[in-house]
Structure 1
């Protein structure tokens, strides 16, 4: 009996033909902490579901080291098959020639279409001629975290315990004064001594005035953007002079000021949502909290934002074969379809079928601030902007000293124009 079964199985295998060769997809990312844990879990789940496609993942150091390694590896054809990529760094990637176009056939292989993504993230994933060079995975931005305990008895907490009444800069500053009166020693904390914290708040205030950091033709602070940049820096300086924001706070210290109950508000990325949730669930937070889109403090409702995306680097002088590329696009499509798990890190899925799903709409506080996806202000389309760029260097080297009183807003803006203009050359 066993012999007959064996022979039958052998004949069936011959009729079916040879098994499809397994594709190994080499993957690079820069995701550490909670992001890294979630991504590794997604990779493991993908591998379990796809015996014919296996992801071999490597995590590299975030920032300049990652993008430098991508550039050198792609040039000699020793880079990954797919990699995570900040859309704010896309202009530099295009200048360096390390990214391959994502074609309509690629998107079809992934089971995706351009209409599946928020317009803000999709536009940031395209080159100047409209060619797609990356597939967005999320939209991440700064949000306004708030301490409900320090807002009790003020005009800024409604009957449901939700933030209310902040519709202008004057309203926000009144709220800062109110939480200060309620015992807050640092009414609004953000990383006032770090490049990212300073840049993101500054850029949000600049964009809310309709200002430009770098124009499409490469001019730094064109037209009346000089005055708008001065206003942004003057606003941040006032928060320091009034004792509302911490002095030279590094990233970890700015978070600790909020989680310890000393700050009424905290401006930071959505990626700190898991920190707040974990501390609240363990009983270590000590107060109720919430998070909302950064309110409209100036003329327009918008907030600094960026996206993690997936990109396919050039392969030196060669080209990726068709079967490997189809496997890579299968990975990218699957990741977007499963981005609800990624949203657990605080992010907003860039893939609208997930962002608009009932499951995501029940995810808090993500659903509360998800409106920012339509109001996102991405970094200028310039090779000197984006994460770990000269624009971020200017934030920590020029804007940070200015908001602590070491130079005037006018002097700071003059230095920014000079530094970034020189970086263009």
Structure 2
């Protein structure tokens, strides 16, 4: 929805530094799901945009993350009561295509926004496009898991190079050796991540699967061929670490973060969005050690890291007029060109000119792990995948229990294949 707010008087227009005929102000209704540090940064960007654009004003609304957000989008767009622009996880794009809730974004639209597909990392554009190549959203970032590590603890070991980056982690055995060393040296939970299920376990599992060149979905079949064995192997790796006391038992998300910040874990695998947490603790002098973050090491056949993208999407509203759409596209283009501020939340901007800038190069540890943009492994393109999807349920009900020894890795993989395949048939 967009509403024109009366015309400014000539005197007001001149006071604002505007010239020409009286200006009409338009309001853009904006929905997002951004809380915490993400929300603070986005609200600041919206405020800056509004200050710089007296003719376009964004009215931002933040809704509950996950399934509630996407349910509201689906129902609101269906009755013509959706926003003018919204944030969207690209992992949810396949389901959005099935529901018909998004409006395609044309080359002409991109020109209006002052951007082009060549300005973005190819993996994010692929994730934002339909199977026939139509662009359905504009990527804003690539957010992935990274490996946070205790530099102080690793100082002088074989796993830290002269620049303070992780090194010597080229296989599962290498990683196990580091974690075993940490266990022997007083770290109770050497590698922490969210092990109770949900997002954290999925992200590590999917990274290990993709590093084997494994695929969750192939031509509509779940874990086809030797992908089933690769999935079982990924689960077994985590289960073996848990059995050896190298990862925590049933750690909730917040607990997994606290294990690292509290000095009980030497490594922590989590999303880039926790960078501000550890920076804030460093500034407050409450962390007690030097930390950094690198791309998740390549431990198997190929580099791969679970990733998703926040993107900007336009709801499928046949009544949206050209003026409304142009205003929305102006917002999108401006946000992309100011994505350095968004990078402060730890995210890698999807807009390559920002990543290529000197200012981004000086942003650490972000610039060091930006290499993962070339190895981003997005969720499978399917209605059963993505944020708050049936795959997440399978993680809760099957993968996490197998990691904790309640069923075998082979049985968990086989049952996951059966359950998810039934949803596709």
Tell me the TM-score range normalised by the shorter chain: over 0.9
Partner of 2:6: none
Provide the aligned length of Structure 1 versus Structure 2: 412
CA contact (8 A) 1:151 1:182 kept: no
Whether 2:39 is the aligned partner of 1:36: answer: yes
Q: What is the CA deviation profile of residues 136-155 of structure 1, one whole-angstrom value per residue up to 9, with x for unaligned ones?
A: 00000000000123223421
Q: Which protein is bigger by CA-based radius of gyration?
A: 1
Matching of residue 204 in structure 1 with residue 207 in structure 2: yes
Q: How far apart, in 2, do the equivalents of 1:260 and 1:206 lie? A: 30
Structure 2 counterpart SS, 1:163: coil
Instruction: Return the offset for 1:162.
Output: 2.9
Residue 62 (structure 2) aligns with: 59
> What is the aligned partner in structure 2 of residue 415 from structure 1?
415
Matched, 1:163 2:176: no
Q: For 1:231-250, what per-residue CA distance to the aligned partner results, in whole angstroms no more than 9, with x for missing partners?
A: 10000001101100000101
The alpha carbon displacement at 1:9 in A equals: 7.6
State the Cα distance separating 1:319 from its structure 2 match: 2.5
Structure 2: segments with no counterpart, 5+ residues: 1-9
Selected match of 2:232 from 230, 233, 246: 230
Where does 1:76-155 land on structure 2 (aligned, <5 Å)?
76-155=79-158
After TM superposition, which residue ranges in structure 1, 4 or more long, deviate above 4 angstroms?
Answer: none
Q: Distance in 2 between matches of 1:241 and 1:213?
A: 26
Query: With structure 2 as the length reference, what TM-score do the two structures score?
Result: 0.95
1:354 matches 2:354: yes
Please state how far the C-alpha of 1:172 moved relative to its aligned partner: 1.0
Task: Identify which of 247, 253, 271 aligns with 2:273.
Answer: 271
Judged with a 3 Å threshold, the aligned counterparts in structure 2 of structure 1 residues 191 and 17 are, in CA distance, closer, same or farther, namely: closer
Q: Is the 8 A contact 2:149 2:293 kept in 1?
A: yes
**Quick one: structure 1 residues 23 and 409, their matched pair in 2 at CA, closer, same or farther if it must change by over 3 Å?**
same
Partner of 1:4 in structure 2? none
- Secondary structure, counterpart of 1:22 in structure 2: strand
Counterpart contact for 1:154–1:178, Cα < 8 Å: no
Answer whether contact 1:234 1:403 (CA < 8 A) is retained.
yes
One of 289, 292, 295 as aligned partner of 2:291: 289
| 1:344 counterpart = 2:339 | no
TM-score for the superposition, normalised by structure 1: 0.95
C-alpha distance after superposition, 1:385-407 (max 9, x if no partner): 01110011111111000000000
Classify the secondary structure of the residue corresponding to 2:380.
Answer: coil
After alignment, is 18-27 or 392-401 more displaced? 18-27
* Distance in 1 of aligned mates of 2:129 and 2:252: 34
Distance between the aligned counterparts of 1:9 and 1:227, measured in 2? 72
Partner of residue 186 from structure 2, selected from 180, 183, 186 = 183
2: CA distance, partners of 1:303 / 1:9: 55
The match for 2:370 is: 370
Q: 1:330 and 1:152 mapped to 2: Cα distance?
A: 48
CA deviation profile, 1:149-187 (whole Å, cap 9, x unmatched): 322342112344332211221111111111112210000
The one-character-per-residue Cα deviations of 1:68-110 (angstroms, maximum 9, x if unpaired) are 0000000011000000000000000000000010011110000
Residues 1:219 and 2:231 are matched in the alignment: no
Other-structure match for 2:5: none
Q: Is the 8 A contact 1:150 1:183 kept in 2?
A: no
CA distance in 2 between counterparts of 1:51 and 1:306 reads: 33
2-structure distance, mates of 1:223, 1:46: 51
